[in-house]
A = this chain, B = another copy of it.
């Protein structure tokens, strides 16, 4: 399995990406890497005990605030667009980047294209709860104005992913909604609810946002606008709580003493709230596996992202998605 890694992407720079890439090589025996970035920088950060993987020299970096299509046009040799291009060119089986989500998606759609039958791509994020359960939330921002039948495709893709990658026999599919009763929600989810009920999927009904961490479903579908809001709310509150906890626990001597003693426990909790620790959100619907890591990814998240990419290739889950989409009935939703 050969995976192209954007070595320059991410807020924490090449050091974090390359440390994670090296860890992945140590762990995943059948993985080869193609590192995309500045060869000097890559060499200087690569651990001396590991042979350097193949390197493809890039020029420059796309910043997070650049307009995706303009960035792709003006900087085709920047590390992220080049990584996508190498994947499209057959130089790798999958790719991983912690760079701009917008550029990654635009590049993937333009250079790789969608699997036959897939109407819209979806970015899927595994929500790992502080209590230890896991739910795949999709779409978290690939497409903003989904139709009901698009949500049904997301449910199929998420379900196949949970079956093949997480080995869940009959994944529970939930619909993110404002209430558990079938009639709840906006036009989009009310229509999607009907379609999902009539599908062969293991649909368990609506799941409220307050229950996303309560193991109600293995796969939770929503439009990209809603999913992004939920994901960012959780992420933002996690960071705020970390800050507030720090402030509370250093307020007086007693709290400081207590904090010192509880430090390992509190650190475990803080880690569980840190999305940059998980890493590895697959983009569904493209012709080849594209894995997005959080912008603030550390080495562990990059290593996870590469592992997810390798599993996606090994399990041929994209081919299974294409087969399933081809078998789906004619489109039934409204715009």
Contacts and interface: CB of A to CB of B under 8 A. Distances in A.
Q: How many copies does the complex hold?
A: 2
A42 B275 CA distance: 48
Contact of A243 (B131, B251, B254): B131
Interface string A183-206: 001110100000000000000000
A241 B273 contact: yes
Interface residues of A, number: 63
Interface stretch (A255-263, A303-311, A318-326): A255-263
28 contacts: A130-B241, A130-B243, A131-B240, A144-B178, A145-B187, A176-B229, A178-B232, A189-B225, A208-B232, A209-B230, A209-B231, A210-B232, A211-B236, A212-B236, A213-B237, A230-B230, A233-B234, A249-B265, A251-B265, A252-B265, A254-B262, A254-B264, A255-B261, A255-B264, A258-B258, A258-B262, A258-B263, A259-B265
Interface of A: 65, 129-131, 141, 144-145, 176, 178, 181, 185-187, 189, 208-214, 223-226, 228-241, 243-245, 247-249, 251-252, 254-255, 257-266, 268-269, 272-273
Given A131-B240, A210-B239, 19 more contacts: A130-B243, A131-B244, A141-B178, A178-B229, A186-B223, A208-B236, A209-B228, A209-B230, A210-B235, A214-B236, A230-B230, A241-B269, A241-B273, A245-B269, A248-B262, A248-B265, A251-B265, A255-B262, A258-B258
